[in-house]
Chains A and B, each alone.
Chain A
């Protein structure tokens, strides 16, 4: 069966950048295949955000609407629920590294003659794409939250979802580099996810909070991902300035309103930072 042995051997032993790109693409591709096969995950990843949006959003709105007529609480929560959905899926994608370690597949990747960076980047991009898909599912339900199906809005939310998904996956991958057992990883994931979400302004407005909570929300990176999404939503719904001021106050540092572009930049920079630490972690050997 000596088929093409010499030819393949020759070509494999020539090093080139395109090998790294191919490796990155296939790692990404595998994430997509696995996500596509796992319908349960797709559906279960939607349940919790929907619960927040439809049940909690509707229920709590009976408390609030009397004060702020005109804006549905679900509209307010929409950005937070997208972030939540993306968050869940991104960390779950990163968890697959821990599974891969447990089931040995990580070894197959780590022993390959490609840079660890291409594997880690492929993984982060894959997780980000998958998490963005999951965000799209929520986007499709915009109508339920009285959010208009404006192409410009949907595109903005899509891009912003991708950015936050990438950063969260990078965070998850870095966790996965350190945490070796799936149980521990799931535990940490639970521990991290809700506090991140609760202090991001996704579930309640960032205005008029006590100082301690204000400080925490400003330290939470997810805040800088939720705010641009909320900002985009409120640009496309009609709400009085008074309502805007309460529900969409923006993120302020000591009274200075942080621009959306800077917020996104913070998230991207953090993502790249986490990514490079993760690459360094995976490049070490025993």
Chain B
């Protein structure tokens, strides 16, 4: 598995009638990597994942997962992947254990290995003690954890997580990221995930920003942030206009004033703050330095914030229609 890319995608497209959900994407995921797909709802993340998982047939282009073609070697792909869907897919009328056993039988996990694997994955997600309880008594977070355990049961080479933390409380989200980090060490596995939470993208080794069915940019989170560049300094002052004038005068910097706040960008914020106090000559009551966040990255590459992209276009609705 060392040289074969975990996922390789060339010109992948999918349209539903008039709607172009995915418009030609190219990328490669390296073995052992945590690879993130970041974008607003309706950007084409789920459609892409569904194509890679062989649930949806591409309209064009090609993709391989663990070296198998997703169209012609569907079963081979399915054996090598684990899946955690956005919506729950566990059976509430069965116990946690029965859900896992069902999965083990469906995937042909060797009988002798089933109890051992089952205990390992259930312990990992902290559900070992609840294994005999009916899943309908589980909270949303517990169900998601069970799904992660199930997705790992057959020791897949690539684990797909579609919005693994959506709709969960912060503690559970934290826990789930904990498992994901552990997994990489424990299971020799590649993780492909989608999210629309900017802060979660930071856990990825590399990430692609996808918007309106196309990949806008692909790099490590750090490189992406560096590409947006400068730190943002915001200071509070009783005399805003004077501060703006002084900034222009002393440092040649254009600041933006909003009430008592003035903000501006510099390449290295922390080093600049002492000079600011020493040379500005206008009273400063507070100052903050912000490194560029992935939100800024998204804004920079797509021209809108993730929230605006989700709110504006009704693409969510189109996606719902397209799914039917």
Q: Given the interface contacts A2-B188, A9-B157, A33-B98, does A105 sit within 8 Å of B90 by beta carbon?
A: yes
Do A103 and B57 have beta carbons less than 8 Å apart? Answer: no
Residues of B within 8 A of A23 (CB): 105-106, 108
Interface core residue of B87, B93, B117, B121 (most chain A CB under 10 Å)? B93
* 6 new A-B contacts at CB < 8 Å, known A1-B123, A108-B90, A285-B57: A9-B156, A18-B108, A108-B102, A108-B150, A111-B53, A285-B56
State A269–B188 Cα separation when bound (angstroms).
50
A108 touches B78 (CB 8 A): no
A27 CA to B117 CA in the complex, in Å? 21
The residues of A that contact B26 with a CB separation of less than 8 Å are none
**Interface pairs (6), CB distance under 8 Å:** A1-B123, A7-B110, A8-B154, A34-B94, A112-B106, A285-B54
Does B22 reach chain A (CB closer than 8 Å)? no
3 residue pairs, one from A and one from B, having the closest CB atoms: A26-B105, A104-B89, A113-B78
Task: A5 to B109: give the CA distance in the assembly, Å.
Answer: 11
A12/B105 contact (C-beta < 8 A), A1-B123, A111-B54 known: no
B75 pairs with A11, CB closer than 8 A: no
> Per-residue 0/1 for B80-103: is the Cβ within 8 Å of any A Cβ (1 yes, 0 no)?
100101011111111000100111
How many residue pairs link A and B with beta carbons under 8 A? The number is: 126
Q: Is B248 an interface residue (CB 8 A)?
A: no
Chain B positions near chain A (C-beta within 8 angstroms): 53-57, 75-76, 78-80, 83, 85, 87-94, 98, 101-103, 105-110, 113, 116-117, 120-121, 123-124, 150, 154-157, 182, 186-188, 324
- Cross-interface CB contact of A111 among B78, B94, B113, B117, cutoff 8 Å: B78
- Residue in A1, A18, A33, A285 whose CB lies within 8 Å of B55: A285
* Shortest beta-carbon distance from A213 to chain B in Å: 41
Bound Cα distance from A107 to B106, whole angstroms: 12
A108 to B, closest residue via Cβ: B89
Residues of B contacting A8 with CB < 8 Å?
109-110, 113, 117, 154-155
Instruction: Tell whether A25 is near chain B: CB-to-CB under 8 Å.
Output: yes
When the two chains form their complex, are residues B186 and A1 in contact, meaning their CB atoms are under 8 A apart? Answer: yes
Question: A183: CB under 8 A from chain B?
Answer: no
Residues of B within 8 A of A33 (CB): 93-94, 98
Query: In the complex, what residues of A have CB within 8 A of residue B83's CB?
Result: 111
* A210 nearest CB across to chain B (Å): 45
Q: Which residues of A contact B116 (CB under 8 A)?
A: 3-4
A7 touches B123 (CB 8 A): no
Select the residue from B89, B121, B150 with max chain A CB neighbours within 10 A.
Answer: B89
Distance A30 CA – B56 CA, assembled complex (angstroms): 27
- Which A residue sits closest to B88, measured CB to CB? A104
Query: Contacts of B92 on A, CB cut-off 8 Å?
Result: 103
Q: Does A37 count as interface, using CB distance less than 8 angstroms?
A: yes
Q: Does A109 contact B (CB under 8 A)?
A: yes
Q: Is the CB of A12 within 8 A of B187?
A: no
CB distance from B227 to the nearest CB of A (A): 36
Q: Do the beta carbons of B106 and A26 come within 8 Å of each other?
A: yes
Bound-complex Cα distance A132 to B182 (A):
48
List the A residue with the shortest CB-CB distance to B78: A113
Q: List A residues 121-149 near B (Cβ within 8 Å).
A: none
Closest to A119 in B: B106
| A5:B56 contact, CB within 8 angstroms | no
Q: Which of B92, B113, B116, B121 has the most CB of A within 10 A?
A: B113
Q: Identify which of B54, B57, B80, B98 contacts A13 (C-beta below 8 A).
A: B80
Bound complex: CA of A6 vs CA of B102, how far in Å? 21
| Least Cβ–Cβ distance between B98 and chain A, in angstroms | 7
Output the nearest chain B residue to A35 by Cβ-Cβ distance.
B93
Q: In the complex, how many angstroms separate the beta carbon of A2 from the nearest chain B beta carbon? A: 5
The chain A residue with its CB closest to the CB of B153 is A8
**Shortest Cβ gap from B95 to chain A (Å):** 9
Question: Cβ of A232 < 8 Å from any Cβ of B?
Answer: no
Chain B residue contacts of A16, Cβ below 8 A = 108
Q: Is the CB of A12 within 8 A of B79?
A: yes
Q: In the complex, A285→B109 CA distance in Å? A: 25
What distance in Å separates the Cβ of B17 from its nearest Cβ neighbour in chain A? 12
Q: Smallest distance from the beta carbon of B242 to chain A beta carbons, Å?
A: 61
What separation, in Å, do the CA atoms of A147 and B309 have in the docked complex?
71
A218 within 8 Å of B by Cβ? no
A281 lies within 8 A of chain B by Cβ: no
Distance A11 CA – B108 CA, assembled complex (angstroms): 8
The A31-55 residues at the B interface (CB cut-off 8 A) are 33-34, 37-38
Closest Cβ neighbor of A105 among chain B residues:
B91
Inter-chain CA distance A15–B57, complex, in Å, is 22
A19–B108 CB distance below 8 A: yes
Q: B120 near A3 (CB under 8 angstroms)?
A: yes
Asked if A103 contacts B113 (CB within 8 A), the reply is no
Bound CA–CA A274/B5 (angstroms): 43
Decide if A107 touches B78 in the complex (CB within 8 Å).
no
A110 proximal to B (CB < 8 A): yes
A13 with B120, Cβ < 8 A, contacts A2-B188, A5-B187 known: no
